[in-house]
Each structure stands twice: as structure tokens, then as C-alpha cells.
Amino acid sequence: MNFKSSLLTTIAVIGHLAVALTIRSTTEQVTLTFHGAADALYVMTIPASAESFTTDNPLSVSLIDADRFDAYSRCTFFTSGNAALVGGVNHQGSIAVGPPQPIYSVSCQPDPPIQCLPDYASCDVGTSIACCGICAATKCRPTGNSPRDYGGSISMTLYGSGAGGEYYNVTLPLQGARYYTHNDLSLSRIVSDQDLTICHFDTVGEFATLGGQHSAPPTSIITPENNGKVMVIGPPTHVVAITCPYGVF
């Protein structure tokens, strides 16, 4: 390789790195404050890239602040036990965690949300969306069996069965991949302005957490109403995972 071609190659590589660094530097940053008992807390700042980040902190968390970022709608918090997350509990839009417990990992979506994580992005069981390929050894890996993109997304609101009016929102891409809710709020209905009958809802009675296999008949019945835009759940239970569209692989 002569000096001229070597110089051009070097310039091209530097230019590529500059573009990559610019993209990374412009990613929206999210600062999360995790509160425990007796004024104990810790702070994390992560990119809103849909990647999963472990907290590495055993603090039992009861409240999460996000500094004017809509973490309730755009972030997924993974806990090691059963927990319900309730948003908007004060004027700051904090998220209550009940019962209090450690947060294992967190991921936050960009705006607009991405449909799947690119190859070699960080991932684990706390990742809010699927890899475009597969998640292996905490990284997204390329595969010939990547989730198919059917185009668009579906949004829904999942309402609790209690008198407190608790609910949470979910938006997921139409890829036929399983989306884990990481929320143990006992639900009585799911509402959308789209047809929910294309989705499958894994309830706690039919989902085995070990390996994610269907191992038991559902203990609750989900009945569509209003042309499939409302799903009534009886008796109320929590939804472990959602797949839209379902049965396409």
C-alpha cells in the first residue's frame, strides 16, 4: 500500500470513528436516583439507548426519581422479586416500588423508540426489548433467525384491579418477539386503540420463569371486547410477557 492510499484509509477510519462518537455523544442521557430507607440512595446516569445496565447495588429501593425524564413510560426496571411500579406518585413524577426491593438492572428507550437492539449492544433479562439477533453472554449477537419486523408498533395501557387506579403503559414493535413486562401489578383489563387480538399475553399461571416455557394452563381467562381493543382479565392477575404478533414463527 502506498503512502497516498494509506493516508486515505486512515482519514476514512478517523471519519468513521468521528461519526460513531458523534452519534454516541448525542444519545439522550438519563439520570436516575434510587431511594431506600433512612435517606439512603444511589444515582445512575445511563444513555436512553434501550440497552440494559446493571445497578450493582443491593439497596432496597422504594422510590425512583428521573429528573424530568418520563422513566415510567420509557424505562424498564428489573427486580429479582415480585414488584409493582406505580408512576406519578408525586409532583416530580417519581416511581414507587412496592414492596421495596433491590433493582437489578434498568434500560430506557430513546424517543422515538427503536424496534430492536443492534448487534453487540448490551442485553440481559432486564432488557426492555429484544435483540435484532439473539442475546448471548450479555451481548446481542447476529443470527439468521432474527425477529422479523412486520412494521410499526402497538401501544397499550394495562390497568390494575385495585381501587388506586394503578396502571402502566407498554409500547412494543411488531416483531413477534416476547416482551417482558417486569411488572407484577395485578391486572383487570388491557386497553389500546389497536387490535389486541394479534397479541398473546403470558399470565403468571401459564408462564414458567425457568426457561420461559409454557408449562401450565392459564389460571385467568382473557376475553376480547370492543372489537379487540379491550382485553378483560378474570380473575385479575399479572402479565409476565407480551408477544405481538403471536404465532408467526
| 6 inside domain | no
Are 88 and 173 in the same domain? no
Could you tell me if residue 14 is inside a domain?
A: no
pLDDT score, position 63: 94
Calculate mean pLDDT across residues 42-47.
94
The reply to whether 194 and 236 lie within a common domain is yes
Query: What is the rounded average pLDDT of the residues 16-28?
Result: 46
Last residue of a domain, one of 128, 146, 164: 146
Residues 129 and 103 in one domain: yes
What is the per-residue pLDDT across 202-236, written as a single tens digit (0 to 9) for each?
A: 887 554 333 333 334 556 788 899 988 999 998 89
Neighbours of 96 (CB within 10 A): 19
pLDDT at res. 249: 40
Backbone angles phi and psi of 190, in degrees to 5: -130, 130
Q: What are the start-end ranges of the E strands in the chain? A: 29-35, 41-47, 53-54, 61-65, 75-79, 84-86, 95-101, 103-108, 134-136, 139-141, 153-160, 167-173, 178-180, 187-191, 200-203, 207-208, 213-214, 221-225, 230-237, 239-243
- Position 29 scores a pLDDT of 92
160 forms bridges with which residues in the sheet? Answer: 187
Q: Which amino acid is at 184?
A: D
Domain-embedded: residue 134: yes
- Residue 118: its pLDDT value, please? 76
| Residue 5 covered by a domain | no
Give yes or no: residues 98 and 173 share one domain. no
Phi then psi dihedrals of residue 30, to 5 deg: -120, 125
pLDDT the model gives residue 52: 80
Considering the domain architecture, whether residues 101 and 126 belong to the same structural domain is answered as yes
Number of domains making up the chain: 2
Q: What is the pLDDT of residues 237-246, one digit of tens each?
A: 888 888 887 7
Percent of all residues in the chain with a pLDDT value above 70, rounded to a whole number: 69
DSSP 152: S
Clarify whether residues 198 and 235 are in a common domain. Answer: yes
Q: Dump pLDDT digits (tens) for 165-210.
A: 899 888 888 877 777 787 878 899 999 999 898 888 888 755 433 3
Does one domain contain both 82 and 141?
A: yes
- For 202, the domain range is 153-243
C-alpha cell read off for 79: 427486580
Q: Is residue 84 part of a domain?
A: yes
**Residue 43: per-residue pLDDT:** 96
Q: Same domain for 122 and 159? A: no
Residues 119, 166 within the same domain: no
Helix (H), strand (E) at residue 5: helix 3-25
